[in-house]
Structure 1
Amino acid sequence: MGNRQDNVPAKPELASSTVGVGLRPDHYQDVLEHTPSVDFLEVHSENFFAEAGIAVDVLKEVSASTPISLHGTSAGLGSVEAIPDDYLKRLKRLVDRVDPILVSDHLCFTWARIGGRLFHGGDLLPIPYTEDSLRHAANNIDRMQQALGRQIAVENVCAYIEFDHNDFDEAAFLNEIVARTGCGLILDINNVMVNARNARVGDPADFVDDYVASLDHSAIAEIHLAGSTPVDREELLIDDHACPVPEAGWHAYGRVLRKIGPRPTLIEWDNNLPSWRELQGEAIKARKAQRRVLNRERSHEPV
């Protein structure tokens, strides 16, 4: 399989210091009544695949004044099975309707054929980092990019199991995906921290540092921040997006920014939703973290 990145349209320009939040149904009314004080809004693509309806009307009105990022949860870019044609057609229709600043999905397994029928796993299931997985993922990513006529970004996921065999570590696998397809990356810091904590690899902050140092920084199109419900030490930590970003998450974010520079940043909060005001407050914290890094960089510039 050759390098196909030259066939991928250039990625859309998005200012590095932008900050957005996820728009969920609980906050539709807030957004319609008050112009969001964020740079962009992220929505889950599949929730807007219908040709008509309240959700479609809301997105149409909001997207007229606020940039939209489309974040998929069902494409299953790491599946052995190809992404279904019907899924790609619906996504393409949505992309054409919204003209998003970014289209993204997860490096995970969702589609499988059982007894001749295609089934969806209903979750973001991890994949082994093998040559076979690399080939299937690259094929799916390339297929989606060609169907949409634009670059997509691929997000790292949480893995609650460990595979017996891997040919790559996760960062090296992602870098190879970028090299073969020309896609961008979404760096989900909370996912990296959750994996580090569950694997008991030591200090999660150090693990994030090493992970990010190994990535192709030029490919990182967006950073995701989220919080997880605390559990006892012996329990598995789940990436449930049900809490504010923890202090450890903000600390890791600052270290990442100092290493790679500011990137468009999304606050994810999907369960146990806060008020719209509190959610926007999380975005303000991200802006302040970006400013601290930029001010520190300027203070070291030669006069």
Structure 2
Amino acid sequence: MSNRQGTLQSKPELKKTAVGVGLRSEHYENVLEQAPSIDFLEVHSENFFADAGVAVDLLQEVSRSTPISLHGTSAGLGSVEAVPDDYLKKLKRLVDRIDPILVSDHLCFTWARIGGRLFHGGDLLPIPYTEDSLLHAVNNIDRMQQYLGRQIAIENVCAYIEFDQSEFDEASFLREIVARTRCGLILDINNLMVNARNGQVADPDNYVDRYVGSLDPFAITEIHLAGSTPVAKEELLIDDHASPVSEAGWQTYERVLKTIGPRPTLVEWDNNLPSWRELLGEATKARKAQRRVFGRECTHESV
């Protein structure tokens, strides 16, 4: 690990029992009309890369009263190609404007050079867990952290294919990345459950529990919760963030909390968006789950 990583800055932490929701354009008016009774809001970084505009002004206004988490979907930190300079410049400008509580992205492949031109894959594509992939991911994460001058967090992704040549399991791969870069981890519970279901894992609960138990718990900075549209048993389950968190998801969340302790928790809902009230209702469920695990000392105002 390079000595320069000792200079990385982290924002003051949210309360470990903080609960947030994703802010999407359909709910901008709700947030502007009433102070959100929520601990933090997450936005997708790339939606606010413009030099100026209504969306940028809105985010700056909201950030004055509510902590903002910037969650990227396009950096492709697992790509062989380095994260483009232009992307890093736009991200840093946004970070400087908003001063977010967290900056994060996914451990996936998105960038590739074909015929001398750089292309973006348009999705969160999985990577093989090999020494070569590890080197590229570490270099990209380290480069982004040094460019921003702060720690970032990386999220586990859904993988709809498996690679024969992997040399690590996913949890070991993430643990090694953390050891080399000092980055944080976002633990997406629905991604784990979708991977277990699509992989026809015999005991999904045990799979998730072993995975979580293999991670460095001190590196986990945030938990993500989401729902997937139900499909027939023989169909591929997609992590579409288009439904409420399932009952199995809430049960898994409580087991995770018992294993690693409280962590800031985000409820994601990106498609077939509900009303703002219903979305806040999902946040209330997360707080109730925390109270069931930790007791009445886990206190929040009801949303």
RMSD: 1.4
Contact 2:291 2:297 in 1 (8 A): no
CA distance in 2, matches of 1:243, 1:212: 24
Residue 238 of structure 1 aligns with an amino acid whose one-letter code is I
The match for 2:242 is 242
Distance 1:142 1:132, change over 3 A: same
Equivalences for 1:1-303 in 2 at 5 Å? 5-10=5-10, 12-295=12-295
Taking structure 2 as the reference length, the TM-score comes to 0.96
Q: Does 138-147 or 289-298 show the bigger shift? A: 289-298
Distance in 1 between residues matched to 2:3 and 2:166, nearest whole Å? 22
The answer to which of 53-62 and 103-112 deviates more is 53-62
For the residues of structure 2 that align with 1:232 and 1:105, how far apart are their CA atoms?
A: 31
Instruction: Report how many residues are paired.
Output: 298
Give SS of 2:177's match. Answer: helix
Displacement after TM superposition at 1:3 (Å):
7.9
Inter-CA distance 20–297: structure 2 relative to 1 (3 Å threshold): closer
Unpaired runs of 5+ in structure 2?
Answer: 299-303
Tell me the distance in 1 between the aligned counterparts of 2:3 and 2:161: 31
Q: Which amino acid aligns with 1:283?
A: A
Runs of 4+ in 1 over 4 A off after TM superposition: 1-5
* Secondary structure class of the residue paired with 1:79: coil
Residues 180-223 of structure 1, C-alpha deviation per residue, up to 9 Å, x if partnerless?
00000000000000000000112222211111000000000000
Quick check: 2:77–2:109 contact (8 Å CA) kept in 1? yes
- 1: CA distance, partners of 2:54 / 2:227: 29
AA of the residue aligned to 2:233: R
Aligned to 1:301: none
Q: Which runs of 5+ in 1 are unaligned?
A: 299-303
Question: In 2, are the aligned partners of 1:4 and 1:181 still within 8 Å (CA)?
Answer: no
Please give the alpha-carbon distance, in whole angstroms, between the structure 1 residues aligned to 2:3 and 2:106: 21
Kept after mapping to 2: 8 A contact 1:112/1:121? yes
CA contact 2:189–2:252 (8 Å) conserved in 1:
yes
C-alpha displacement at 1:12, in angstroms? 3.6
Inter-partner Cα distance in structure 1 for 2:108 and 2:12: 24
Partner secondary structure for residue 29 of structure 1: helix
Identical positions, percent: 79
Partner Cα separation in structure 1 for residue 3 and residue 111 of structure 2 = 25
- Tell me if structure 2 keeps the 8 A contact 1:3–1:181: no
The question of whether the paired residues in 2 share the 8 Å contact of 1:60 and 1:98 is answered with yes
Letter in 2 for 1:189: I
- Seen in structure 2, the aligned counterparts of structure 1 residues 296 and 281 have a Cα distance that, compared at 3 Å, is closer
What residue identity is the alignment partner of 1:242?
A
Q: 8 Å contact 2:76–2:124 — kept in the other structure?
A: yes
SS at match of 2:93: helix
Cα distance, 1:11 vs. partner?
5.6
1:136-170 CA distance string (max 9 Å, x none)? 00000000000000000000000000101111000
Which AA in structure 2 matches 1:140? Answer: N
C-alpha displacement of 1:2: 5.6
Contact 2:71 2:105 in 1 (8 A): yes
User: How far apart in 2 are the matches of 1:293 and 1:231?
Assistant: 30
Q: Which amino acid aligns with 2:152?
A: I
Distance 2:227 2:130 in 1: 30
What is the CA-CA distance between 1:4 and the residue it aligns to? 6.7
- Letter of the 2:86 counterpart: D
